[in-house]
Amino acid sequence: MTTHPKTFPIGIDLLHDPTLNKGTAFTEEERDTLGLRGLLPPTVHTQQTQLTRVLGNLRQKTSDLEKYVFLIALQDRNETLFYKLALEHLDEIMPLIYTPTVGKACQEYSNIFRRPRGLFITAKDAGRMEEILSHWPNADVGVIVVPDGERILGLGDLASSGMGIPVGKLALYTTCAGIHPRRCLPVSIDVGTENEKFLKDPLYLGLKQHRVRGEAYDALIDEFVTAVGKVFPHALIQFEDFANQNAFRLLKKYQKKICTFNDDIQGTAAVAFSGLYSALRITKQKLKDQRLLFFGAGEAGTGIADLTVAAMMEEGMTEAEARACCWFIDSKGLVVQSRKDLAEHKIPYAIDHKPLIDNMDIVDSFKPTSLIGVSGQPGVFTEDILRRVAKLNERPIVFALSNPTSMAECTAKDAYRFTDYRAVFASGSPFKQVTNGGKTFVPGQGNNAYIFPGVGLGVLASKSKFVTNEMFLAAARALAAEVTEEDLALGRIYPPLTKIRQVSATIAQATAEVAYKRGIAQQPRPTDLGAYIKSLMYIPDYENYV
């Protein structure tokens, strides 16, 4: 499905429109018809020839950050070619346009800035939200990704420099699920920062003030949500990289009022639970017999636990029994009922147990089948802990999910070698395959890109009023079903990225089915839902230009 502006630009304006520009691929006839004669070199090149050129140039860059800047520049001048490159070389491109490289790009955002992409909304714009949203040139926005920059990946408060996150996420919406780039809107809500380095940096592009909090903060978010409903009434809002104290309560506040979700809570939960579901096919165990020890009790950890508890209850366990299978470690040790400092989202998982501080003591007490790393603490899965969990389990499940790579709880190599190559391993950022004794182990990457693009596509296809937790459970199961026996034989618990569009279409259908089942879809159900969803997917080929 191709979406174009009502007024089609010509000449130099056309070459400056990244969604319409084909560069040297404009044909002789198009050059005459569209006023391009003389504005381009004389030779007409195919898209494949252009791909050869840009891929060669990309591979000459000496650092991942340079490659990121190169790719963003390509996206800024020719989106069709950018997405063609990303789709055909996703294994190579995804780590550059998203995690882990996007973390470094956000840290250096003010230094590498070339041109704006998306909308920048600040605390000083209170009262003008609807006006600012109306400045966006495309009225048919389908997906908005919006952070406030307080918790960018595992890197902390990067404020408006976190704009790289929604830009990257939306690039994956298009690459992985085929949502047209014109329907994607990245937004940064800048309420200030506590990052003293930024506050003192003359090149910093964001508000140089400490963060607005309390009622003024809530009013700004509420005005934004209300304005989106008026300007882009069919848009899905994805909240991204909010700090714990805001993420949970904003999700709770808006989840049943508007079409929204929080990817750090729900998307991470779905991809992790899907990995667990697949891992059980390797370990030959049942979900009800799992004991999950979470290192980190924030958005990701409790989101994963919530989804796991819901699945366990579907299999006959009581809520109390299911929650007892999930123990949490935070910065102060084991999350127990006697503690008086617990945030609201931790309380349901506080156990009746004596306080424990030492991680090894907690492992010995709980005897986990799975280690779930969502702590942002690199190396917290130590050699001793990995060896201990390997003694407790024939096939221990080890998920080091913190992003970027530098924040992972352990490396793939360590997870395998310290468990005598028996671990079922997955990580948030990519790790290279590991070989031992002639056998190759392919680490699974629990990347949210397996989940949120497909969920978004399903929501748009059905025009669902809301995004529900049930949708994420359905998405997780649909993703797990895409993992083949051949994948499992390699230790891989997610399908290869080469199948991402097929996977996203399958997840979109599962998501839409929930919307129709629950009566929250506003689009009449097509006779062939799967075919309809695939018909909506943008294909980045010049043949689909008009």
Residues with catalytic function: 98, 169
Largest CA distance in the chain: 79
Instruction: Compute φ and ψ for 121, nearest 5 degrees.
Output: -115, 135
CA gap 351, 334 in Å, rounded: 9
Closest CA to 138 of 97, 189, 179: 179
CA within 13 Å, CB half, 250: 31
C-alpha distance from residue 175 to each of 186, 206, 266, 316, 481 (Å): 15, 29, 21, 39, 21
- Cα dihedral sign for 114, 120, 123, 126? positive
CA gap 505, 510 in Å, rounded: 9
Which residues make beta-bridge pairs with 399?
A: 372, 426
Size (the chain), residues:
546
- 254 with 225: CB under 8 angstroms? yes
Q: Which residue has the tokens 């399958």?
A: 506
CA gap 411, 418 in Å, rounded: 11
Residues 6+ apart with CB under 8 A from 7: none
C-alpha distance from residue 132 to each of 22, 118, 127, 249 (Å): 30, 11, 10, 26
State the first-to-last Cα distance of the chain, in angstroms, to the nearest integer. Answer: 10
Q: Which residue has the tokens 């569009």?
A: 501
Instruction: Compute φ and ψ for 434, nearest 5 degrees.
Output: -120, 135
Closest CA to 159 of 125, 202, 109: 109
